[in-house]
Structure formats: C-alpha cells, structure tokens
Structure 1
Amino acid sequence: MIADLKKNTEQKMQKSVEALKNDLGKVRTGRAHTGLLDHVQVDYYGSMVPVNQVANVNLLDARTIGVQPWEKTMLAKVEKAIRDSDLGLNPATMGDTIRVPMPALTEERRKDLIKVVRGEAENARVAVRNLRRDANNHLKEAVKAKEISEDDERRAEEDIQKLTDRYVAEVDKLLAEKEKDLMQV
C-alpha cells in the first residue's frame, strides 16, 4: 500500500513538472522555436486544426520559423491564423513558404515574461506540495484504520518529503534556465 502511494505520488509530481516544461516552452524568448505555433489553429475545410497538421513547420535560422503548407490553397489561411494568434508574430509569404521572423524582445517585455515564468513555476511548486499533502493525508487515514503502523507512516512521510524536495528542486532548475534564456540578448 505504501509503495503504491509513493509511486502514484511520484508519477503525479512528474506530470506537474512536465506540465511546467510545456508551459515554459510556450513563453517566447526571441529565438525561433517550432513548438511556438503548436496551439495556432487553422480553418481546414470547416474544422479547426493545429498548423502542424496542415503544413511542415521548421526552423529556417535561429530567429525565423518556416511554415510550408501542403496545399497551395492553405497558404493565406495559415498566414492569417499566425497573424491573428496572440503571439504577436508578423508572418510574410515568400513563394510557397511562410516566413515567421521572431521580433527582438525589449528589456521591459523580458521582465514581464520573467514574472509570468515565475508565476508558472510557483504554480508547479504548489501542485507538488499539494500532492505531498494528499499523500500524507492518505497515510494518516491508513494509521487510523490500523492498516499501517505509526513507524511506517513516519518513514513513508520522510520518503514523500524527499520526493517533494527533489521535484521542487527540478522546478527551480527549470525556472533558472528559462530566466537565463529570457535575459540573453
């Protein structure tokens, strides 16, 4: 029972860290990143689909994303979808390829992005701590129901605390990397 609880808690903590990685990947640093366009939706014959399902998305250079629709008729729709997205990008069509240059970030915008990133990291830390609390509550209930001893509970709580410390440290490491990335000019 205790082993299952630890394993389950660790899996949930890992998912919290993965969610943070995804959220941080969406924060634009001024360098091109193909994942930036993942949530941009295009009208494809009446249904909304992600850009990467109607076009090849690749990096042309460090500051430019190239989008090449599979159908010529989709060129204008994809360009409009990128322009209308909340990313603040200004795509330009060249032949059958859409070039999406990454604008340089101002110092003020960098600081705003760091605030956003810190908020995301704090949410991840809170999620990890909530998982610790839930696991500890399950242990207390098991002691009350006389399923485990108090010594087992104390050992399991220590193990769960170690897991919590490890995942909070991982969140802090991801945050430090992203802050450094954002402050690079």
Structure 2
Amino acid sequence: MINYAKNYATKKMIFCIDCFKKKVDLIRAGVANISLIENIKIECYGKKVFLNKISRIIVHNNRTLKINLFDKSLKNNVINSISKSNIGLTSYEQNNNIFVSVPFLTKEKRIQLIKFVYKEGENAKIDIRIIRRDINTKFNNMYLDKKINKDDKYRIEKIVQNITNDFIKNIDCILTSKKFDLENS
C-alpha cells in the first residue's frame, strides 16, 4: 500500500509539473526559443499538424528563429498560422526559409508575464494539493473500512506530504528561474 501511494502520488504530481513547465516555457523572455512556435498547428494535407512535425526549427540568433520546411508548398500556411497564433511574433520569408522575429519586451509586458507565471504556479500548487487530498481521502476511507490500520494510514499521509512538499519546492524553483529570465532578458 505504501509503495502504491508513493508511486501514484509521484506519477500524478510529475504530470502536474510537466503541464506547468510547458505553460511556462511558452512564455518568452525576449529571447528566441524553439518552444515558442514548435506547437503551433498548421493546416496541411487536410488536417492540423504541429509545426515541429513538418519542419526543422533552429535558433538563428538571439532574436530570430529559422524554419526549414520539409514541404516548401506549406510556406504560406506556416506564415499565416504564426501570425494568427497571437503570440506577438512576426514571420517573413527569405531564401526559401521562414524566419520568425522575437521582439524586445517592454517593462509593462515583463510585469504582466511575471504575474501570469506566478498565477500559473499557484494553480499548479493547488493541483498538487488536490492530488494529496485525494490520496489522503482514499486511504482514510480504507482505514474507516478497516482495510488498513491506523499506523499505515499515518505513514502514508506523511509520505504523501513529503512528496507534496518536494513538488511545491520544485514549482518554486521553476518560478524563481522564470522570473529571473523575464527580469534579465
């Protein structure tokens, strides 16, 4: 039972952290990063496909990404999809490649992004705590049904709390790192 609780809590909380990291990685710090555009969906071949599946994306320089399409006929679709994505990036064509410019961040925009990152961090912490609550409720019910004893229940609660604390610290580290990136880019 204890190993099950440990594995279940860890698995669920890792999923929460991964979702949080993906959201935070999409927030640009004024520096070109492949994660800004790789998950933009492009209309091609009758369905929507992620940009990173139909191209090779590289960081051309600090402020520019370069997209090498596998199928050059998709150029206009890619340029239109980037402009419609509302992420504040501009794209242009040059020598059969697409370049995406990442503009500088204003002070006001940095403040907004930091607030957004902290809000997402708090949401991730809430998700982690909900997982802890669900696990504790499950094992409390098992205790009430006399399927586990009191010592096992408390041992599981302590283990799940320690795991929760570790994941909350992980979220705080990610928040601190992203805040530093946003303030110093």
Give me the TM-score of the superposition, normalised by structure 2: 0.95
- Residues 131-181 of structure 1, C-alpha deviations (whole Å, 9 max, x = no match): 111111112111111111112211211111111111000000101000111
Give me the TM-score of the superposition, normalised by structure 1: 0.95
Cα shift at 1:118: 0.6
- Residues 52-71 of structure 1, C-alpha deviations (whole Å, 9 max, x = no match): 22221111112210012122
Q: Which amino acid letter does the alignment assign opposite residue 138 of structure 2?
A: H
Q: Which residue does the alignment assign to 1:181?
A: 181
Provide the rounded CA distance (Å) in 2 between the counterparts of 1:161 and 1:71: 51
Provide the rounded CA distance (Å) in 2 between the counterparts of 1:71 and 1:64: 21
- 2:5–2:156 contact (8 Å) kept in structure 1: no
Q: Which residue does the alignment assign to 2:148?
A: 148
Q: Which amino acid letter does the alignment assign opposite residue 167 of structure 1?
A: F
* Mapping 1:1-185, distance limit 5 Å: 1-185=1-185
- 2:5–2:160 contact (8 Å) kept in structure 1: no
Provide the rounded CA distance (Å) in 2 between the counterparts of 1:16 and 1:53: 25
Provide the rounded CA distance (Å) in 2 between the counterparts of 1:53 and 1:13: 28
Provide the rounded CA distance (Å) in 2 between the counterparts of 1:52 and 1:157: 42
Provide the rounded CA distance (Å) in 2 between the counterparts of 1:157 and 1:45: 52
Gaps of 5+ in 1: none
| Secondary structure of 2:83 counterpart | helix
| Secondary structure of 2:178 counterpart | helix
Q: Which amino acid letter does the alignment assign opposite residue 179 of structure 1?
A: K
Runs of at least 4 residues of structure 1 off by over 4 A? Answer: none
Provide the rounded CA distance (Å) in 1 between the counterparts of 2:93 and 2:55: 14
Cα shift at 1:109: 0.2
Q: Which amino acid letter does the alignment assign opposite residue 47 of structure 1?
A: K
- 2:89–2:100 contact (8 Å) kept in structure 1: yes
> Which one is further off, 120-129 or 51-60?
51-60
| Secondary structure of 2:43 counterpart | strand
